[in-house]
Structure 1
Amino acid sequence: MGSLITQEQIDRLVTLALAEDLGTGDVTTDSIVLADSVCEAVITAKEKLVVCGLPVVRAVFTKLDAETVFHHPEIAEGTEIQKGQPLMKIRAKASALLKGERSALNILQRLSGIATLTRKFVKEAGAVQIL
């Protein structure tokens, strides 16, 4: 099955999320983080969940740092993962990680929450025909 969302829609969502979270800028990050400083971050599941939103997470950090590198296990959208399991490792400019983490995590949590609840309802419904 193909993607249900276009890259244009992802880009629009990322632009809106970053505009809301950063406004006119991140004064703290810009003041204390060296411009060329690079670091790594790992996104780890805080609970058992159905993964949804990884392309959006990649888009957030890529928009802030075009040289961002993503390392992640073979986790596809819709995969059920366990608490503590890593979803993605990100290597980018420290400023990009700090500026993008809130938007990326908010979107990932929201989409994965919807996917997880939907999976629960599908399992509960079992063989019940809806239409």
Structure 2
Amino acid sequence: MDTFLLDPLLHRFLAEDLEHGDITTEAIFSPSDRARACFISREPMTVVGLETVAARVFRLLDPNVACTGAVADGSRVEQGEVLLRLSGATRTLLRGERVALNLAQRLCGIATLASAFADAVKHTKAEIVDTRKTTPGLRLLEKYAVRASGGAHNHRYSLSDGVLIKDNHIAACGSITEAVRRVRARVPHTINVEVETDTLAQVEECLACKVGVIMLDNMDPTTLRQAVATIAGRAIVEASGGVNLDTVRGIAEAGVDIISVGALTHSARACDIGMDWRE
């Protein structure tokens, strides 16, 4: 996690929550009061972001806060495990609690779901990747959670990262062939070209254009296998559309190289993590 990019985000999140100050905490505790607390897992999960994100929230509020014992990214823990230990000014721990917990719960939820998808296809060559279906303002963090989960990977980060000719590009342009021609006339040779398809005829057209990656979108299992056989290693094969934990194994076993799953970021349930006070 690049702190140059992360810190401005965390500052904004803290400013949103603190605004003009924590009137409850400031009324009860003095600047000299000290406390200790722990982040505790309330359920089994894959951990991401305890040291890189949650601890950094507290350090940005007060560099003197001690954050120790953070569970490493990608670790799998059971209910009741200590994820992070905190020691410092009581005011700081209470001010940062909600922002740090919100982010940790979100990132661990994404990592836990990503791990489940990766586990479901680990007997195949397929890799699980995310999409751009992220929460506005949280893409850096959410894609980090996927990548740090220990089993899944990132697709392109933004529209500037790679060429992906989708159905609306094709509809507006007139054909895959014309869209590919225009792209190749404009973009550098170092950028691969990917095209989204939903029929075998479109797959054949992509092969004729010699595109680097062919996305098979929302294809039924039979058509998916036919498409993989037709491509026969002449392009990287990505499957997408409606992928869930019930269907991902069959998709992977069809022989695709990549499976993109929007649910990793748009539908992950936040994990239950608590911040417990210590005497």
**For 1:9 and 1:78, how far apart are their aligned partners in 2?**
21
Out of 4, 23, 26, the residue aligned to residue 27 of structure 1 is 23
**For 2:15 and 2:46, how far apart are their aligned partners in 1?**
27
Out of 14, 29, 40, the residue aligned to residue 18 of structure 1 is 14
**Structure 1 unaligned blocks of 5 or more:** none
Larger Rg: 2
SS of alignment partner, residue 66 of structure 1: coil
With the length of structure 2 as denominator, give the TM-score of the two structures: 0.44
Letter in 2 for 1:66: P
With the length of structure 1 as denominator, give the TM-score of the two structures: 0.90
Letter in 2 for 1:102: R
Q: Counterpart of 2:94?
A: 98
Q: Counterpart of 1:72?
A: 69
Q: Counterpart of 1:59?
A: 56
Q: Greater helix percent: which structure?
A: 1
Out of 110, 120, 124, the residue aligned to residue 114 of structure 1 is 110
Q: Report the number of matched residues.
A: 126
Deviations 1:60-111 (A, max 9, x none): 11111111112216x3111001100001110010000000000000000000
- Structure 1 position 39 matched with structure 2 position 39: no
SS of alignment partner, residue 83 of structure 1: coil
- Structure 1 position 89 matched with structure 2 position 85: yes
**For 1:80 and 1:20, how far apart are their aligned partners in 2?**
31
**For 1:103 and 1:13, how far apart are their aligned partners in 2?**
11
CA-based RMSD of the aligned residues comes to: 1.2
**Structure 2 unaligned blocks of 5 or more:** 127-255, 258-279
Q: Which has the higher contact order (CA 8 A, sep 6+)?
A: 1
**For 2:61 and 2:72, how far apart are their aligned partners in 1?**
24
**Sequence identity percentage:** 34
Deviations 1:24-54 (A, max 9, x none): 2111111111111110001110110111111
Deviation at 1:23, TM superposition (A): 1.4
Letter in 2 for 1:116: T
Deviation at 1:9, TM superposition (A): 2.0
**For 2:5 and 2:48, how far apart are their aligned partners in 1?**
15
**For 1:119 and 1:12, how far apart are their aligned partners in 2?**
28
**For 1:58 and 1:105, how far apart are their aligned partners in 2?**
10
Contact (CA 8 Å) 1:10, 1:59: kept in 2 or not? no
**For 1:110 and 1:80, how far apart are their aligned partners in 2?**
15
**For 1:120 and 1:46, how far apart are their aligned partners in 2?**
18
